[in-house]
Structure 1
Amino acid sequence: MSDSECTMLEADVEDKAMDAAAPFDRPDADMILRTCDNVDFRYYKFLLSLASPFFMNMFALPQPTELASDQTKYGLPIIPVSESSRVMEKLLMFCSPVYDTDVPALDNLDIVMAVLDAADKYDMKRVGKFVVKMIISPHFLEPEPMRVFAITCRYRSEVETRVAARYMLRYAISEPSYVAELDCISGGDYHRLVKYHAKCGQAVPQLINLWSKYPLPQLDCKACRKKGISRLPLKEYQDSVIEALRARPCAETLLNQDWIDAMVKKAGSCTNCRDRAYRNMADFVKEFAEPVDNIISQIELEVKF
């Protein structure tokens, strides 16, 4: 159940509320957080105060000496929250002392955003920083790099934003489609990404000076040459590599199957050459990645956080 779908029950809330599973069912807890989908999390005011100035200030206020029956459970005060049980579970696990060795799993960027929004709401800055560091893993970057970039920008995480921007070089700047998280960053943030991408592409022609040291792999085979098929001129081959890297300035570009197929077709190679060309290019990229990385590493994304 998403937070937007949650509705607070107005009657028989206590009877219908479920207890959260361990470790949020401890009998020595001193308060209960009740989520919008009616799950009760027993927790500790002290730990919540350490993690959240919001709750620290709440607990510092004078508390009523008596509470109505629907405001307590197991003799503990109930604090209603608007988050779902799924989000609250993740959030409290990050606040618990054990999370340094047992990091909560975040399956996708939707739950990441929900946890970050909750951390932001309750002023849990340490939790927010930790979650943002997690999303630059390949698990999140590979399927949704633009969302990761926008999220790291939104939370002004410089190191993580640079990592996400570097990963975006695997795509032409116009390729990633719109994502809702872009609405949460400034036009300046996005402009700096576009500028960084362009500068990396403009630096790629420096590789022209390295062809003697890194000769491109052949695109055809002996069978092709025996048939007298004309080979792709070396200069055209080299220019095609530079053109591809200008659009997507990273070594992984040369492993794009569509691009390799196009090169094999230009070379007039036989149908057996495609797999061979890919293997040859993969071996080539292992060595060629170093000079490409050296050139790109000299260019930094401008950040104004």
Structure 2
Amino acid sequence: MAGPVVSQLFDRADADIVFRSSDNVDFRLHKLILGMASPVFSDMFSLPQPQGEGEQPQVVDVPETASVLENLLPFCYPMARPELLHIDDLQSVLHSTEKYEMTFISNQLLQNLRHFLPTEPLRVYSIACLVEDADLARAAAKVLLGSSPLYDPHNSPPEFDRLRASALAKIDAYRIDCATAARSVVLDYDQLRSGFPPRFVSVSRKGNVDTSNAWIWLACSSCTGGSVEIYVANAATGYRHGQTLTPRAWWSEYSDAVAKELTLRPLASVVTETRFTRPAFDKAAKCATCGPRAAVELMQYAEAVAKKIEDALSKVVFVLPFGQNEVPEEASKPVVAELADRAVEEANQFFAGW
């Protein structure tokens, strides 16, 4: 069997300790530097050590591969740090820093891990849970709202072997809560009356409904109406004997499609996606009344709804599967209850002065 080879990066003649990797590569190192980088190594070196052969430094077998050590050790020495462009490399080094209590390296690696949020959010979330990094776990949870499905059970991340089931349960619960909050905004049809200034529906004392300032899908009576009905109260009769407005079918189909997608991907950007707005534009263009105004007004509506969804999502609490969970003050009120309060406030403003 061939003997160990020596790492080209760590081949110091003045080394007083040798780490031998699991794949038989020697790293000639210095106890003082390693002891300063890791309390685990410091404690190990403080114990009586067996002598090496002749004047050779002691050899310590470590479980890490040469690749992991070549990525880890430069953080301890005054030399160029590896870029760690692959999440597998970063995760392996991070695992070793946790084991050897190299906190200053762990903190830097966790910052670097954020670069993988757009491409590997589930792995970042899993690693964050394993090392109990609350900020990183929350950041990954938000990015994961755009993942549907959350993961492929036939190709799950390697971190799942060590991840607690509660970590997946918490992210599932968060996605459901966010979907509920986002859908509540889109399905709040009553806000079409006055929830998007300067668009509003007014009612005269005689009970006549004026839609001249309303969205075109409420003002139009030329094309086919949808299945949604919006009740407009008559202030002159104590809000009895009101009328109903029926948004046009093309808008109702758009709203239904968006609400369905929000169940899978509760993101504010969904409402402005072309695959939902384009079919609505095309159908509205067939109506002589809706056609001239539909594209502009639907985009104005979608952008306003997106902001409302962002606000609703910001109030959804992600319950960490570890450590302490602090509920932000602005998230303490249930979203549905807040929507109800807002509806009452809008109604009071709408009928003020009658």
* TM-score clears 0.5: yes
Q: Give the superposition deviation at 1:233.
A: 1.5
Q: 1:289 to 1:20 in 2, by over 3 A?
A: farther
Tell me how far apart the structure 1 counterparts of residues 131 and 105 of structure 2 sit (CA, whole Å): 12
Kindly indicate whether residue 181 of structure 2 is the aligned counterpart of residue 181 of structure 1: no
Aligned partner letter, 2:151:
P
1:96 to 44, 61, 77: 77
Q: Which has the larger radius of gyration?
A: 2
2:37 to 51, 58, 63: 51
Q: 1:97 to 1:11 in 2, by over 3 A?
A: closer
The aligned counterpart of 2:53 is: 68
The 5 Å alignment of 1:1-305 reads 12-13=3-4, 17-21=5-9, 24-65=10-51, 67-68=52-53, 75-96=56-77, 103-137=81-115, 140-172=116-148, 174-178=149-153, 179=156, 180-204=158-182, 205-207=184-186, 208=188, 209=191, 212=196, 233-254=250-271, 260-261=274-275, 264-265=278-279, 289-303=306-320, 304-305=322-323
Task: Kindly provide the CA deviation profile for residues 172-203 of structure 1, in whole angstroms up to 9, marking residues without a partner as x.
Answer: 3x342132322322222211111111111111
Tell me how far apart the structure 1 counterparts of residues 103 and 298 of structure 2 sit (CA, whole Å): 45
Tell me how far apart the structure 1 counterparts of residues 81 and 302 of structure 2 sit (CA, whole Å): 35
Equivalent pair of 2:271/2:305 in contact (CA under 8 Å): no
State the aligned residue count.
260
Q: 1:147 to 1:285 in 2, by over 3 A?
A: farther
Q: Give the superposition deviation at 1:123.
A: 3.2
Aligned partner letter, 1:18:
V
Tell me how far apart the structure 2 counterparts of residues 63 and 242 of structure 1 sit (CA, whole Å): 67
Q: Which segments of 5 or more consecutive residues in structure 1 lack a partner in the other structure?
A: 1-9, 219-227, 270-279
Q: Which segments of 5 or more consecutive residues in structure 2 lack a partner in the other structure?
A: 200-215, 217-222, 226-247, 284-296, 324-354
Tell me how far apart the structure 2 counterparts of residues 103 and 240 of structure 1 sit (CA, whole Å): 49
Q: Give the superposition deviation at 1:292.
A: 3.0
Tell me how far apart the structure 1 counterparts of residues 171 and 308 of structure 2 sit (CA, whole Å): 22
Q: Percent identity?
A: 28
Q: Give the superposition deviation at 1:77.
A: 3.2
Tell me how far apart the structure 2 counterparts of residues 81 and 177 of structure 1 sit (CA, whole Å): 34
Q: Please identify which structure carries the higher helix content.
A: 1
Q: 1:44 to 1:252 in 2, by over 3 A?
A: farther
Aligned partner letter, 2:6:
M
TM-score by length of 1: 0.70
CA-atom RMSD, angstroms? 3.8
Aligned partner letter, 2:60:
I
Q: Give the superposition deviation at 1:45.
A: 1.3
Tell me how far apart the structure 2 counterparts of residues 127 and 281 of structure 1 sit (CA, whole Å): 50
Tell me how far apart the structure 2 counterparts of residues 149 and 214 of structure 1 sit (CA, whole Å): 42
